[in-house]
Amino acid sequence: MGDLSVSLALLGVVVLLCELLRAATTRLFGGTRIGEYVAESVSTFQLCACTHELKLLGDAGRVAPRVALTLTYLAAAVHGATFRGAAGNPCGALARTCHGSLPGAAARVTCQFAAAAAARSALPFVWALGLSDLHRGHALLGFGCVSPVGSALLRGAAVELGCAFTMQTALAHLQAVEERYRIHATALLVTVLVYAGGSVTGAVFNPALAFSVLFSCSGNTFLELCFVYWLGPLLGTAASLLLLDVVVPQLSGTKDHVHGPRRKSQ
């Protein structure tokens, strides 16, 4: 099998296993806070594991840019269709918590980072199996990677901030859209952001995902990566919340914000 075929098969296996775990979690812990935390962990692991494989394909130049963007869109759509309400992103979890729709933000973020670390540890074992030439070559190089940021820290942080701001603002306006359309609209936006900012930072705009995929790469210190991939998205999310919940209502003379009325979690 070619490198692309093996990678696609691996992505399918990851999604299938995570979907089985989510189904089992729903059956065993459905409606409980424990079930929500397990589902959050499983979904974040799925996101990180799939992104590891897609990044490997892209970094090795085994797929054309057009194909890479298509895979990004398809992966984002699959994640949106299977997450079942899980955020998979600390910024998203904090934003939804601010609007009263997702309690237990600290525990959820902890689950997300734990799952991100698990994915970062698990993928080298899969690559070491040598299922494709790409995996074998990556194993021979010690599973190394290079940070895309380099010395452009301010530019990188600005890109991550802008991506997070755009995504959070768009998600707020997409809440009223039917789910099957919202999934594809979100996937399309993710693809556009990756196309626009991918050459600078990879356009991650997800602190947990960045921790899993990029924090083991050479080229930048831990604090530099935190500045770009943690502070940038958090500031972007905060700016979106400030705009939609404070500035726009003040300018329009209303007390309602774009996200609609606060609601309690079921």
Is the distance from CB of 76 to CB of 167 less than 8 angstroms?
no
pLDDT at residue 101 above 90?
no
Question: Measuring CA to CA, which residue among 212, 208, 225, 209 is closest to residue 147?
Answer: 225
The full set of domains in the chain, from first to last, is 3-252 (1.20.1080.10)
pLDDT at residue 260 above 60?
no
Name the band, by pLDDT with cuts 50, 70 and 90, for residue 154. very high
Name the band, by pLDDT with cuts 50, 70 and 90, for residue 175. confident
The 10s digit of each residue's pLDDT in 114-144 is: 999 999 999 999 999 999 999 999 999 999 9
Question: Measuring CA to CA, which residue among 167, 55, 35 is closest to residue 104?
Answer: 35
Higher pLDDT, 183 or 262: 183
AA letter at 247 = V
Terminal Cα distance for the chain, rounded: 46
Mean pLDDT of the chain: 91
pLDDT value, residue 165 = 98
pLDDT value, residue 254 = 65
pLDDT at residue 255 above 80?
no
Higher pLDDT, 92 or 209: 209
Name the band, by pLDDT with cuts 50, 70 and 90, for residue 252. confident
SS3 218: strand
pLDDT at residue 148 above 60?
yes
Mean pLDDT of 155-166: 97
CA distances from 114 to 22, 119, 143, 151, 178 (A): 17, 9, 20, 28, 32
Q: How many whole angstroms separate alpha carbon 211 and alpha carbon 113? A: 8
User: What count of other Cβ atoms lies within 10 Å of the Cβ of residue 45?
Assistant: 25
Mean pLDDT of 12-36: 93
User: For the purposes of burial, counting CB atoms within 10 Å of the CB of 174, is it exposed (0-12), middle (13-18) or buried (19 or more)?
Assistant: middle
Q: How many CA atoms lie within 13 A of 11 on its CB side?
A: 23
